[in-house]
Structure 1
Amino acid sequence: MEMGMNSVQPNAQFPVPHKSLSLDINGNKTDIVISKYEDNFMVMVTQIGCMGTILAARKDESVFSDPTYNVSVLFGKRDEPLLLACARQLIEHISGSGSARSLMISLGLKDHSQATMKYIVSTIIENRLW
């Protein structure tokens, strides 16, 4: 049997637990996909129809100090503090809920306002997989 682009079943289920949402935020169609992998959560939020800035967030624990949260931009805009704040709020919530998984998040947004970020964070938390 030859393997190729046509070998994927059109109705095959996504191999990891996930949730997909589509909503309107301040007039912008916003798609959100939350996926739960063995060691990570992947969250994709887009108002532009593709991936945007990709961030990684994780909790670092030490025997000698309180836990810290490390958030870094892997690809994309490095001068958007609200994107970093969004990822940080989510990893703090994930860790506070008892999960040790890290977070990968892609934010492809037209609207980078504080109100939009708060709405996105609250929507993700309401629909969480942790």
Structure 2
Amino acid sequence: MEELAGTQVAFPVRNRIFARLINGVTTNFVWNLYLDHLLLIITQIGTVGTVISARQDATFDGRTTFSISVVLGKREDPTLELAARQLVQQLGELGHSRSITLCLGLRDLSPSSVRELVGAVREDHAWC
């Protein structure tokens, strides 16, 4: 570690990589946590797939809203946006409050696969 003006400076990006079987398909999870942002790549196809920007906000009356927008990739797939929303909601329930970039390269977006993806994030969440 480098020392700067009396404080230790660590590499600012923490990451974690793991794989899981989701409905029988090997699925890779890549977490990159920056100071103010989370990049979460979930892929079954070896590429980042569709890139989605997601944010969780609180309303003036204390309710939670979610902003999900496709940055790059399949824009006309409501199932993909629903999966992203469920993942962001799960991360919020785990205490994660940073902006999130989700990269979803998925072959199977069946309801059971989405449940398993959300379960994997719940069990193996990193640094929320």
Smaller-chain TM-score bracket? 0.7 to 0.9
Q: Which residue of 2 aligns with 1:33?
A: 30
Gaps of 5+ in 1: 1-13
Tell me which of 65, 74, 83 is aligned to 1:68. 65
Q: Which residue of 1 aligns with 2:115?
A: 118
In 2, the alpha carbon distance for the partners of 1:39 and 1:95 equals 15
Q: Specify whether residues 48 and 63 from structure 1 end up closer, same or farther in structure 2 by C-alpha distance, changes over 3 A only.
A: same
Q: Which residue of 2 aligns with 1:78?
A: 75
Q: CA offset at residue 17 of structure 1?
A: 1.7
Matches within 5 A, 1:94-113: 94-113=91-110
Report if aligned partners of 2:50, 2:103 keep a CA contact under 8 Å in 1: yes
- Percent identity, aligned pairs only, is 35
Deviates most, 18-27 or 106-115: 18-27
Gaps of 5+ in 2: 1-10
Report if aligned partners of 2:90, 2:118 keep a CA contact under 8 Å in 1: no
| TM-align CA RMSD | 2.0
Deviations 1:49-87 (A, max 9, x none): 111001111023343563321111111112222221222
Q: Which residue of 2 aligns with 1:16?
A: 13
Higher strand share: 2
Report if aligned partners of 1:16, 1:36 keep a CA contact under 8 Å in 2: yes
Amino acid across the alignment from 1:38:
L
